[in-house]
Amino acid sequence: MVVIAKNCPDIEVEVVDINENRIKAWNDTNLDNLPVFEPGLSEILIDVRNNNLTFSSKVESSIRNSDMIFISVNTPIKEKGMGAGETSDLRWVESCARLISKSARGHTIVVEKSTLPVKTAQTIKEILDSSTSNNSDEDRTFSVLSNPEFLAEGTAINDLVNPDRVLIGGDDLEAMNALKDIYIKWVPENKIIFTNLWSSELSKLSANALLAQRISSINSLSAICEVTGAEIGDVAHAVGMDSRIGGKFLKAGPGFGGSCFKKDILNLVYLSRFYGLNEVADFWQETVAINSWQKNRIYKEIVARLFGNLADKKIGILGFAFKENTNDTRESPAIDICRNLLNEGAFLNIHDCKVNEKTIDKDLSSKNLFDKNMWAHKKDVYSVFEDAHAVIFMTEWSIYKTLDWKRILPIIKQPFWVFDTRLILDPNEIKNFGLNIWQLGNGMNK
């Protein structure tokens, strides 16, 4: 919405949320208090906030006055009931649709922006249409569009300013053109594509499934590298030079995290099973299974090298976010790996450039498995190493690539192990300091 407001000064953008604290944070004059950290966001926000972009909790009046409404709510995986653990929880989408149906006036274009299971637009349409038939005295009509968001966290602003494509799905050409008129202000016309609603919804799930599958593919190959003496960085480089494969999104790592990949694949699996396509469902399910396996095997490699015993050992954790340049920890591989290490009795010193202690606490202590006496949040990256027997590089923050190892040597326990799950270190440099290193996908590991 910030990017729309910036590029369309003639459009009034109102971001509304029933959560008043969140709105307060978006209105905070101290930009460090914004609810999300995203490079480049605050610079644009400061330009447009309270000009043509406002944040408020006046949801109903905003709906009443809007010509176009974007539904951008959370759609996590369902926790209970039918489809639990497999399909998205649509309660917030549904309640938005009900609120819109109650409060809208005149003709309103409703745009699905959240990633949703295929056919959700139909649900939204039915809810909206039922309100028009119940209140025949009110003159209100709706057009529903799907406009999935392809941005990645950490690069969101650039992805929005220079998108590979903008996808608009619908069956009302006038409404589709109205949305196109917004994007055309900064996106080249040949990158704005029209499809029907279902192709648009399925394209978003498919893009994420294919991206996640690429990571599971390279991660599965990282394990083969380790046993054969090959190096995953070299293999990725060599295969990526094939123009049919391409070099992007081939970095082996501890497994994909983030709010989308797992959820979207599980939605695809659910959809496939629903239509009796069990082989298709099994195929995509394996992408998620390899991802869990990758996290689990890294944990086992760590335990094996620390003599099978982590009790009374301190381990440093560098990075808790699911990738660099974000403070988001949803589905972060660090969570599962840290939980497994805590379960072995290790004490963890955890550092992240943007994730705060409260978030780490929430992620580690859910289900009351671990208490705060078993880990410490460290603000200074070097204090992670104090009396530690090992360190694990979990997120690829750039400051971790240039640590001063001479400063670290006097404060660690020997023998000391470095575990590099992101391939950001030079193993020879670490070995030259007399330290042991295990690097993901490196066939030269001991």
Distances from the Cα of 390 to the Cαs of 75, 80, 163, in angstroms?
Answer: 38, 39, 41
Taking the C-alpha atoms of residue 299 and residue 335, their distance in angstroms, rounded to an integer, is: 11
Token pair 């650039």 is found at 158
Contacts with ligand UDX, residue ranges (CB under 6 A): 149-153, 208, 211, 215, 249-251, 253, 256-258, 260-261, 322-323
| Residue 151 and residue 185 in contact, taking contact as beta carbons nearer than 8 Å | no
CB of 429 to ligand UDX, least distance (A): 23
- Which lies closer to ligand UDX via its Cβ, residue 251 or residue 314? 251
| Rounded Cα gap, residues 93 and 113, in angstroms | 10
Kindly state the smallest distance separating residue 425's Cβ from ligand UDX, in Å. Answer: 16
Q: What is the DSSP string of 92-119?
A: HHHHHHHHHHHH--EEEEEEE-S---TT
CB 221, min distance to ligand UDX, A: 12
**CB-nearer residue toward ligand UDX: 350 or 440:** 440
Residue 153 beta carbon to ligand UDX: minimum distance, rounded to whole angstroms: 4
Nearer to ligand UDX, 261 or 320 (CB): 261
Q: What is the DSSP letter of 442?
A: B
CA-to-CA dists, residue 202 to 199, 264, 266, 273, 323, angstroms: 5, 10, 13, 15, 25
In the bound state with ligand UDX, the residue whose beta carbon lies nearer, of 100 and 179, is 179
Residue nearest to ligand UDX (CB): 258
Q: Find the shortest distance in angstroms from Cβ 223 to ligand UDX.
A: 14
Catalytic residues: 260
Q: Which residue has the tokens 């974000």?
A: 326
Residue 316: strand pairing partners: 349, 391
